[in-house]
Structure 1
Amino acid sequence: MAASPLMGTPQKTSEHNQAKGYLFALVILSTLFFVWGFITNLNDTLIPHLKNAFSLNYFEALLIQFCFFGAYFVMSLPAGALVKRVGYKWGLVVGLLIAAVGCLLFIPAAMSKLYPLFLGALFILASGITILQVAANPYVTILGKPETASFRLTLTQALNSLGGTLAPWAGSLLILSSAAHSVDTSAVTDAAMRLQEADAVKFPYLLLAIALGLLAAIFAALKLPDMRQEEQEQALDHDDKSGSAWKYPHLVLGALGLFAYVGAEVTIGSTMINFLELPNIAGFTATEAAKYVSYYWGGALVGRFIGSAVMYYVKANKVLAFNAIVNVALLAVAVLSSGTASMWSIIAIGLFNSIMFPTIFSLALTGLGRHTSQGSGILCQAIVGGAIVPVVVGKVADAAGLHIALALPILCYIYIAWYGARGYRPRH
């Protein structure tokens, strides 16, 4: 019997509602990308601030990133299991609440004036962010057509870059400037002034805790599509029921790529204020230098919009390889020169970093089917590169100087260029 027009209407309506649900979910998720970008890059001002407050060397100061990104290594696989059990939505809620607790712990850490307590608070904060990463990144890749996954993830990551761009500016205003004012107006000992500087972190992290708590309440109340069923349906078409995500070489190589990328990006962002303070580079104060770190992250923001457009016409892996090669050249110029050339070369790296994280992430998850949640956990675990590479660079900087130490991330970009050229290809 021929179908009447009316018989086709419910199906079209269902598809339309599904598309609207996907769009709404993507819009809501974008707020999370903004928030964790802001929190992560606020470390770039926290590092020189606590370095001064506690008289730390480079290695000790960069333990901030070791604890923050070390949480990704410790918590990513448990986070993947959590998301698989409770779903993407409630995984996001749990992540937001844990991150809020981490922010609140900055208050007792500042009151106690103990650096290890700051590191503990950062670990808890980053554990919440890890759950958000594990839930949100694959959620974005699944919400729509597989062939546009890199585009969607790059676009939402642009909001992450916006948060990251604003964070150094906000940190300069709320932390560095506040600390400088308290020191200038207090005729007290150096030790007392350092303790006053530690107090400067209370207000901004209290605000972040309140914002994260409100977002958790909003997400708990929202109705978002549960993509676990669709993920399982994709598995029936593209994957077998046995094995694990570890059997996919392109995923493992992609995890190494994320390790290298995050390690390089975090190292450059974390040391840029101190780098720009060097007399042979720019000779800025910490407050002035923090504003230029915003240009670094702002380049990533602009680059993600440009990259989203370019990847409609050029394959994502080719764009990845090209950007990595450019960054090898830029970092070489920054290390081998001085003054304005060195300063702007290292800042420009942010523009070409732009598409690397979402592109590596989506390329590595291609074809994983039912193993997508586990694969996402593995990839987020690889973000531990942001913990390892900075402290290695910090050790070299203490021994040979920061200018020379920044040559090490060149190796990271060389590997990323290879992954974009060859390593991304699925074979299993």
Structure 2
Amino acid sequence: MHQDTKKSYATSLILIGCLFFIFGFITWLNGTLIPFLKTACQLNIRQVSLVTFAFFISYFVMAIPSSAILRKTGFKNGMSLGLIIMACGCVMFIPAALQRSYPLFLTGLFVQGLGLSILQTASNPYVTIIGPIDSAAKRISMMGICNKAAGFLSPIVIGSILLSNLDTLDKSIKSTTDLAAKEAMLTELSGRIINPYIVLTIVLLLVAVMIRFSSLPNIRDEENDADKAIGVSDQRPLSSYTYLFLGAFAIFTYVGVEVLAGDYIINYGTYLHVPIEYAKYLTSLTLAFMVAGYFAGVFLTPRILSQEALLRIMIIISLVLIMGVLFTTGKTSILMLALLGFTHATMWPAIWPMSIKGLGRHTKTGSALLIMGISGGAIVPYIYGNLGVLYHGNLQLAFWIMIPCYLYMLMFATVGHRLGYKEPVKDSMA
């Protein structure tokens, strides 16, 4: 690799890493928003599960349109557009806070998710194809470190503002019989979110401009040119790539359990009587384990373990940990849930390239299908919230929903990723 090429490659990875940091910061704010909105808008567990539902269902809605948008705009302009849409979602929190309107908060989250879906559709295949496929898991792990490091910081930074003295305020709100005083306390609490989201809006717009005028190279459209680039003569229909569709559902189950472990652990901690002053750091604890897991993934693959082998090992460990969540109590149960961050870290970097390999001209469409799988972050937690109500508020028992998710991922990691896969056939003239 020439010196200029190496410099361009490194610059591209740094810029994309900054993007992953930014949308990681926003994505992992949901864990802080859940207890905040639960009190500010006076919600139960089923209602508050709509926070993650509104955010992640947008991936399902926008995944296919994102692919079409990127064909029009290219990767770089598409990333800028995604950031601008995210900024629009953030600014919607201002009127939502002033009116204390939960539907408007949800709309803002949905719009943020729309922008993120464009970013994900552009950035994930970009990271995959910018270098050798054998090291794709390592590059995705590096991006994951940026994403989860931001996720570690965001609950600490924003949580210190939104969740400060929330326990005391919540008790005062519940105990007061003066409706005017109660409304005043709720309005004060809701207003805490305005300044942080003004700052986030400004940052997103600045980064959108920076990306637009950066030297980030435009990768050739792999959907149109991949066959020519590698001499692939296989013209199979998309429906014949069974492993792609199985991989999309593996992404669905993975994101579902990741969101439960990261975004609902604060709420779970308060359910087990951990004061909010300490519980507000639990998402950061999960993300700290996740960052450690990403470093482990970078070290282990592909030199020591293949990404498939590491995925199987981490899924099995996850099954052991979730049994610990279900059958232990107090701080031990919370720690088992947080430790899932470590095992989860290596799953996305493995599932994504295993699902997208060998797609050739179908790569962009396949990427869009995988992005649709992120909607698992909407559906699985919503099922969890409904189970919590069904089990009369037992939020611990509701975590059993994670077991079938892990079992499905284990099937994909064992046999599913090979179903329908064929080694690319190259033209003799290539």
Normalised by the length of structure 1, the TM-score is 0.91
For structure 1, list consecutive stretches of 5 or more residues without a partner in the other structure: 1-11
Q: Is the 8 A contact 2:83 2:208 kept in 1?
A: yes
2:424 counterpart of 1:421: no
- Deviations for 1:124-181, whole angstroms, at most 9, x for unmatched residues? 1110011000000000011111211111111111111101111221232121117678
Deviation at 1:18, TM superposition (A): 2.7
Distance 1:243 1:218 in 2: 40
The 1:174–1:399 alpha-carbon spacing in structure 2 relative to 1, beyond 3 Å, is same
2:396 counterpart of 1:403: yes
- Deviations for 1:325-377, whole angstroms, at most 9, x for unmatched residues? 10111011111110232121111111110111121111111111222111111
Distance 2:307 2:169 in 1: 49
Q: Which moved more, 1:264-273 or 1:154-163?
A: 264-273
Distance 2:364 2:3 in 1: 27
Deviation at 1:242, TM superposition (A): 4.6
The 1:238–1:330 alpha-carbon spacing in structure 2 relative to 1, beyond 3 Å, is farther
- Deviations for 1:198-245, whole angstroms, at most 9, x for unmatched residues? 111111111111111010010111122211256644323364575554
2:255 counterpart of 1:268: no
Deviation at 1:195, TM superposition (A): 2.3
Match of 1:355 in 2: 346
Match of 2:201 in 1: 209
Q: Is the 8 A contact 1:321 1:419 kept in 2?
A: no
Distance 2:172 2:409 in 1: 48
Deviation at 1:269, TM superposition (A): 2.1
Q: How many residues align?
A: 412
Match of 2:243 in 1: 250
Q: 1:330 aligns with which of 321, 324, 342?
A: 321
Name the SS for the 1:86 alignment partner: helix
Distance 2:193 2:235 in 1: 49
Deviation at 1:22, TM superposition (A): 1.8
Q: 2:277 aligns with which of 268, 284, 287?
A: 287
Match of 1:8 in 2: none
Q: Is the 8 A contact 1:321 1:420 kept in 2?
A: yes
Q: Is the 8 A contact 1:273 1:293 kept in 2?
A: yes
Match of 2:297 in 1: 307
Q: 2:133 aligns with which of 123, 133, 146?
A: 146
Q: Which moved more, 1:413-422 or 1:128-137?
A: 413-422
The 1:193–1:405 alpha-carbon spacing in structure 2 relative to 1, beyond 3 Å, is same
Deviation at 1:59, TM superposition (A): 0.9
Distance 1:143 1:196 in 2: 48
Distance 1:190 1:379 in 2: 45
Percent identical residues: 34
2:186 counterpart of 1:194: yes
Q: Is the 8 A contact 1:235 1:368 kept in 2?
A: no
2:219 counterpart of 1:227: yes
Distance 2:238 2:196 in 1: 39
Alignment of 1:85-96 (within 5 A): 85-96=72-83
Normalised by the length of structure 2, the TM-score is 0.91
Deviation at 1:190, TM superposition (A): 2.3
Distance 1:381 1:209 in 2: 25
Q: Is the 8 A contact 2:358 2:421 kept in 1?
A: no
Q: Is the 8 A contact 1:183 1:193 kept in 2?
A: no
Q: Is the 8 A contact 1:81 1:374 kept in 2?
A: no
Distance 1:302 1:214 in 2: 30
Match of 2:14 in 1: 27
Match of 2:367 in 1: 376
Q: Is the 8 A contact 1:327 1:352 kept in 2?
A: yes
Q: 2:109 aligns with which of 122, 131, 135?
A: 122
Q: Is the 8 A contact 2:87 2:205 kept in 1?
A: yes
Match of 1:6 in 2: none
Name the SS for the 2:29 alignment partner: helix
- Deviations for 1:99-142, whole angstroms, at most 9, x for unmatched residues? 01111111011112111000001111110011000000000011
AA paired with 1:372?
Answer: T
For structure 2, list consecutive stretches of 5 or more residues without a partner in the other structure: 423-430
Distance 1:156 1:204 in 2: 25
Q: 2:355 aligns with which of 355, 364, 375?
A: 364
The 1:53–1:244 alpha-carbon spacing in structure 2 relative to 1, beyond 3 Å, is farther
Match of 1:5 in 2: none
The 1:399–1:182 alpha-carbon spacing in structure 2 relative to 1, beyond 3 Å, is closer
Q: Is the 8 A contact 1:320 1:420 kept in 2?
A: yes
Deviation at 1:270, TM superposition (A): 2.4
**What is the Cα-based RMSD across aligned positions, in Å?**
2.0
- Deviations for 1:236-262, whole angstroms, at most 9, x for unmatched residues? 336457555443111111101000000
Match of 2:153 in 1: 166
2:336 counterpart of 1:345: yes
Q: Which moved more, 1:113-122 or 1:175-184?
A: 175-184
Distance 1:244 1:81 in 2: 19
